[in-house]
């Protein structure tokens, strides 16, 4: 992706979400080895720091190992960006399913606001 696209301010929530996924992946990738993949340690750090409130105890070695094995489609011991996006898609679907169980007047956590109703999320 050209730098000019990434340097522009996102004009929509989806553009912002895409930029944040890319930036977050690259914030953690490359600290150990290949700069375009996440090692087990990098994945553990990303899950703990960025998804801790959604995933609970991401420091659990067995849990991270299972996620790593499930994601590592090519069995190279690392998670590339495509494999990372598969994880994020699966987590997003799971969160959507969870949120849909609540009535719209109940409050839910979203990344856009501290608290929003389902109706606000749909806007």
**pLDDT for 83-109, tens place per residue?**
999 989 988 888 777 777 765 555 455
Residue 33 lies in a domain: yes
User: Is residue 82 one of the residues assigned to a domain?
Assistant: yes
Domain assignment of residue 2, yes or no: no
- How is the chain classified by DSSP, letter by letter? --HHHHHSPPSSHHHHHHHHHHHHHHHHTTSSS-TTEE-HHHHHHHHHHHHHHHHS-TT-HHHHHHHHHHH-TT-SSSEEHHHHHHHHHHHHHHHHHHHHTS-TTSEE--SSSSSEEHHHHH-
The verdict on residue 73 lying in a domain is yes
Residue 91 resides in a domain: yes
Domain containing residue 36: 13-122
- Summarize pLDDT for 10-53 with one digit per residue, the tens: 789 899 999 999 999 999 998 998 999 999 889 889 988 998 77
Per the domain annotation, does 62 fall within a domain?
Answer: yes
Global confidence as pTM: 0.68
Domain-embedded: residue 79 = yes
Q: What is the CATH number of the domain that holds 46?
A: 1.10.238.10
What total of structural domains would you count in the chain? 1
| Residue 18, in any domain of the structure | yes
Residue 113 has pLDDT above 80, yes or no: no
């Amino acid at each position: 992706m050209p730098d000019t696209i990434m340097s522009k301010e996102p004009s929509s929530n989806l553009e912002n979400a895409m930029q944040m996924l890319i930036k977050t992946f690259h914030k953690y990738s490359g600290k150990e080895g290949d700069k375009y993949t996440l090692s087990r340690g990098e994945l553990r750090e990303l899950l703990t720091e960025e998804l801790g409130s959604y995933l609970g105890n991401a420091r659990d070695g067995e849990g991270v190992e299972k996620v790593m094995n499930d994601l590592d489609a090519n069995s190279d011991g690392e998670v590339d960006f495509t494999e990372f996006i598969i994880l994020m898609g699966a987590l997003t679907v799971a969160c959507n399913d969870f949120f849909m169980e609540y009535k719209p007047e109940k409050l839910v956590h979203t990344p856009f606001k501290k608290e929003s109703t389902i109706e606000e999320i749909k806007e």
